[in-house]
Amino acid sequence: MGAKDLNLYSMLFAYLLLLIPLGILIFMQVKLVKETIVSVLRMSIQLGLVGIYLKYLFVWDNTCLNIAWLMVMITVSTFSVINSNGIRRRDFFLPVMGALAISLFFNISYFNFFIVKISDIFNAKYLIPISGMLLGNSLKGNIIATNTFFDYFKNREKEYLFTLSLGASREEALRPVVRECMKRSLKPTLASIATIGLVSLPGMMTGQILGGSVPTTAIKYQIAIMLAIFSTMAISIFLVILFLKNVSFNKYDVMKRNIFIKGEN
């Protein structure tokens, strides 16, 4: 049993849904028409390719290939975090990628082994979609956390330097900054965890119900996935800040000036 397939006409009708929002954008002269079309095209092409790719990935179900695909996902996420901060790839690629990869591999392995209890924790059908959900959510959190970190140094570096001059070590002076990063990045997820079921029925649950699972199974998966998302986020944010702290400062504990690419800072 599975969800009903959508034929060409169905998809056409789906794309027709764009007409009204596009009409509104044109009417209100909001300059987002081009961006909307480009975004939708990108989504369609990306998902189309992934659809083909996943089809084979699920059929072949080769551990090395599955892990390679995870690495592609992590790499794309890493660039996304780095670009959102305007920092140099050379310095930050490994720290950011390390944080995302460690957190993801730990959580996905735990999820598949202890919660879903499958013998092959790298089984494509579980590994790829669940990793996508974990990574997608921690990506948002990592962007907020790293932006908060670098914005602090762009706007409030004086506070940090004054704290250093009062005898604080780098670690002590950074403590309030790290707390702020964690707080700001985790709050939105906590808010969505708290309202889940009341406001939204999340994608995974909807998908499972459409796919034929009984609602109680779907709900159990949803609870587990939300907890795993929170864990992946918290661990990756903690690690990314920990690693950033190690590469962003000079020997005098002052933030390096050359870590930002031109045009930033």
Partner 1 sequence: MIKVANISLSFADKKVFENLSFHISRGEKVLLDAPSGKGKTSLLKIMMGFITPDSGEVHISGQLLTAHNTKVLRSKIAYLPQDIAFPKMKVIEFIKLVLDYESNKHIKYNENQVWEMLEHLKLPLSILKQDTLSISGGEKQRIGILIMQLLNREIFLLDELTSALNSELKEFIANYFLQMKQTVIVVSHDEIWQQNSIRKVRW
Q: Using CB under 8 A, list all residues that contact partner 1.
A: 156, 158-159, 161-169, 172, 176, 250-254
- Which residue number, 93 or 249, has a Cβ lying nearer to partner 1? 249
Q: Minimum CB separation from partner 1 for residue 95, in Å?
A: 21
Q: How far is the CB of 173 from partner 1 (least distance, A)?
A: 9
Find the shortest distance in angstroms from Cβ 163 to partner 1.
Answer: 7
Smallest distance, partner 1 to C-beta of residue 145, A: 19
Tell me the helices (H) and strands (E) count for the chain, helix number first. Answer: 10, 0
Q: Say which residues have a Cβ less than 8 Å from residue 12's Cβ, sequence separation at least 6.
A: none
Q: Which is nearer to partner 1, 117 or 251 (CB)?
A: 251
- Residue 17 in 3-state DSSP? coil
How far apart CA 65 and CA 25 sit, in angstroms, is 42
Our measurement of the distance from residue 5's CA atom to the centroid of its chain's CA atoms, rounded to an integer in Å, reads 29
Identify which of residues 39 and 250 has a Cβ nearer to partner 1 in the complex. 250
Closest to 101 (Cα-Cα) out of 62, 68, 125? 68
> Looking at beta carbons only, is 117 or 262 nearer to partner 1?
262
Of 209 and 254, CB closest to partner 1: 254
Contacts of 66 (CB under 8 A, 6+ apart): 57, 122, 123, 124, 127, 128
User: What minimum distance in Å lies between the beta carbon of 162 and partner 1?
Assistant: 5
CB of 34 to partner 1, least distance (A): 37
Q: Which lies closer to partner 1 via its Cβ, residue 121 or residue 161?
A: 161
With the C-alpha atoms ordered 171, 173, 175, 178, is the resulting torsion angle positive or negative? negative
DSSP secondary structure letters along 43-75: HHHHHHHHHHHHHHHHHH--HHHHHHHHHHHHH
